[in-house]
Amino acid sequence: MAPNEELRTYIAKEVLKNDNIEISEESRLIQDGLINSIGIMKLVTFLSDRFGVQFEDDDYKIENFETLSTIQCLIERRSTTATA
């Protein structure tokens, strides 16, 4: 499963508790009220566990968690940093 598909599935099932919700690559997760601060913390734990990324204080910005695309960019940035 592609990372964005895993994110989409996780957010729908575990954060929103709704398998039927449509989340596109550019759905505004925070702005549209799909995810709140508790949901972000669940998501951070999932990302750390699933993708093995460690977050820095500067990573905890709303813009990093606004869409599936921005979350994917954050994962890629953190993965690159971890292997560098």
User: In this structure, what CATH number is given to the domain that contains residue 69?
Assistant: 1.10.1200.10
Q: Percentages helix, strand, coil for the chain, rounded to the nearest 5?
A: 60, 0, 40
- Which residue range is the domain that position 63 belongs to? 3-79
Q: Is 51 part of a structural domain of the chain?
A: yes
Question: Alpha-carbon distance 54 to 33, whole Å?
Answer: 26
Mean pLDDT of the region 24-28: 90
Examine residue 84 and state whether it is found in any structural domain, yes or no. Answer: no
- pTM given for the model: 0.84
Measured between alpha carbons, how far is 24 from 22 in angstroms, rounded to an integer? 6
* 82 pLDDT tier (thresholds 50, 70, 90): low
CA diameter of the chain: 39
Q: What are phi and psi of 5, to 5 degrees?
A: -70, -40
Checking if the pLDDT of 6 tops 80, the result is: yes
pLDDT of 44 > 80? The answer is yes
Retrieve residue 38's tokens: 């508790």
